[in-house]
Amino acid sequence: MKILFYDARDYDRDSFDAQLKNYPNIKIDYIEADLSPVTASLARGYDAVCAFVNSDASAMALEILRGFDVKLVLMRSAGFDAVNVPVAKDLGMTVLRVPAYSPEAIAEQAIGLGLCAARRIHKGYARVRENDFSLQGLLGVNLHGKTAGIVGTGKIGAAMVRICNGFGMKVLGYDVYQNPSLEGMVEYVELDELLRRSDLISLHCPLFDSNRHMINADAIDKMKDGVVFINTARGGLVDTKALIEGIRSGKIGAAGLDVYEEEGDNVFRNCSNTIIESVTSTLCSFPNVVMTSHQAFFTKEALASIAKTTLDNATAFANGEELTGPAVVC
């Protein structure tokens, strides 16, 4: 099987090449360009393409790929909102993903962002570097004894529930499907109640059209004053302008963000010599906001798991095995 790997970074090559020795029947060619209708034609002669969260596997891109007899789209991520799934189905294409590469990696980043923002650790570090040892403006809050609200209790949300339990927090959960493995660790409530009761709110759900901007002005208005808000899921879950107003008003006391609506053009790229005027730059200006660039997945363990699962998916497809389970999108 020949796979064209889009949007390849050095760490992608390293993690996949380390696994390839165990898959002698798979050949990968890496390119820096991301998948889009413009670059889809580069997959001529390949059996499959490998894409990531910000790829553009839209209807046009998929139709071009199918025209070159590409039958398989391998998403090296849990999310697959970059793929027009109904069109892929109509074209007879298979879309496979990595449903759970390292839930703990995401959850650990989430709590780290929340702690950093709530305790102003980033501001304290910057001060000490300048020999400023004052504490004014760095007053934080304890998490112990507070209430955490976890929106989405799949594998990543479940890992976050366990961490919050370890911090001595009461944990509320909201999900369409309750996770039986969390019995005794979480109290399931409706979203409005979670928003109203939680001192810390962390998002761990996928993005669909139905829940885009689920955190909007109305939702933020229901939250406690001074709530700690964390998003390591998808930027589109949050109305960024409403978030900014919530921070300005003091309704949101601290925010830790690994994803945001405008990340598409900039994510994983060095734009340090570019002037970017956006709501993202406004968020960065707040002293109680900590932002990273879709970094939560980025651990050695997670990259190794992503590579292995992606190559296992490709092998199963090539061998004509019956494809079932959460890795199968369509």
Which amino acids are annotated catalytic? Answer: 234, 263, 294
Select from 323, 318, 329 the least CA-distant residue to 71. 318
Classify burial at 137, counting beta carbons within 10 Å of its beta carbon; exposed 0-12, middle 13-18, buried 19 or more: exposed
Strand order from edge to edge, sheet including 48-51: 27-30, 2-5, 48-51, 72-75, 94-96
Select from 173, 99, 113 the least CA-distant residue to 143. 113
> How far is 55 from 200, CA to CA, in rounded Å?
32
Per-residue tokens: 107: 């959850």
Helix 103-119 vs helix 155-166: crossing angle, to nearest 10: 50
> How far is 173 from 204, CA to CA, in rounded Å?
11
